[in-house]
Amino acid sequence: MRIAHASRSLISAAAHRVVFPTFPLSLAPNLNFALAFAMASEKLSTLANNNEDDEKYGFQRSEMYTETLAGTVGAYGRHVFLCYKSPEAWPARVEGSESDLLPKLLSSAIKARKDGIPLKTNLTLCEGREGTDFSDGDVLIFPEMIKYRDLKDSEVDSFVEDVLVNGKPWASGVGEVLTGSHVFVCSHGSRDRRCGVCGPVLIEKFKEEIDSRGLKDQVFVSPCSHIGGHKYAGNVIIYSPGPDGKIMGHWYGYVTPDDVPALIDQHIEKGEIIEHLWRGQMGAADKEGGKADKQNLPNGDVKKSKKKPEEISTQSDKDNVAGCCQGANGFNCCRDGSLEQNSGSEENKAGHEKKGLGKLSCWIGSWEQSDVLTAVAVVGAVATVAVAYSFYRRSG
């Protein structure tokens, strides 16, 4: 009876992932083996599911590295992050959720005053945890590198008016200066599963690399909500000082855990861009800027000509005034276009006088020597016949 009861407990343990203490072999000889087998089966199942997720939604998915990333960031001049709960609690459209009033109010206020806000402003959520540097209701503003604490629902309108519209300190709060580099990783799984799979793995890798380098007080990493471009997951934004001390916001896509050390060592530490992962950057464009111009860096690579190679070649030939053919043995049968243009007036004066002769010269010049001799012989024969006929008429 005891063994049967323990077996039922084993099934319940496997279903609910509860680990029971091992039983003495004297009481249940095969129980430890059964429990170990169940746990191993569960681990194998979890591993298989993780591999499937990685192939469909993670770093092994087929769409990785299939598109050019540069130019996939819309122009903007300011980024506001609202610290609010955790990614697991964010609905797909958190800015429109009736149960999450603060994000909805802030998003609506920014949209309502967009004509009065001098800079195109992005709003994104980041994780807020009580007892940390970033708690629920805290607001981070880049590139100003300012944090305001504990924004309340009733204070949203005054915050937007004072800080974002008028560019003044918030009357109801004290701004704190942010230091160091701030990394945001899209982990909004309810919005897109790719971000939900890739984001947490990247955050753990960032924390591991930051700890190993002793940079906990200099580099800060947080999960964030949807930033656009789910298909480019993992998506990472880094706000850090550039070589001149100016705060820059660089976006990266297709980031994998293997890329994290380079992002820290090259981008954050040395200010070097990882080009093959780079999507674009925060620019000082106003609200009318719209999408970044893809013809110019830094928010896009140089746009290639849409003309086909043969069309470009044909156009080049038309534009080349001195274009010419190449004669036999390297002899160029054409004159330079500028010389032709300068001598045009002189040629026109004698043009009518030499027109017929020129045509005859070109006509004769095109014959081979044997053709000329044959023609002379024919003309001579015709002349002989004509003379003989003339004498014949006279004698008759």
**Mean pLDDT per 10-residue run, the chain (396 residues)?**
41 45 54 66 59 86 96 96 96 89 97 96 94 90 97 97 96 95 98 97 98 96 96 98 92 98 97 96 56 40 36 39 36 37 43 44 46 58 61 58
d(CA 155, CA 150): 10
Strand partners, 89: none
pLDDT at 153: 96
pLDDT score of 276 = 97
Print the SS3 string covering 274-331: CHHHEEEECCCCECCCCCCCCCCCCCCCCCCCCCCHHHHHHHHHHHCCCCCCCCHHHC
Would you call the peptide bond into 358 cis, given omega within 30 degrees of 0 as the criterion?
Answer: no
CA-based nearest residue to 220, from 293, 127, 312, 287: 127
pLDDT of amino acid 243: 84
Q: Which of 273, 288, 182, 196 is nearest to 233 (CA)?
A: 196
| Interatomic CA distance for residues 293 and 278, integer angstroms | 16
End-to-end CA distance of the chain: 156
Q: Are 210 and 152 in contact (CB under 8 A)?
A: no
Which residues pair with residue 182 across a beta bridge? 220, 239
3 state DSSP class of 82 = strand
The pair of structure tokens assigned to 149 is 């604490």
Spell out the residues 6+ positions from residue 20 whose beta carbon is closer than 8 angstroms to its own: 9, 10, 13, 35
Give residues with Cβ within 8 angstroms of 49, minimum separation 6.
Answer: none
- Looking at residue 395, its pLDDT comes to 58
Q: Domains for the chain: give ranges and CATH numbers.
A: 78-281 (3.40.30.10)
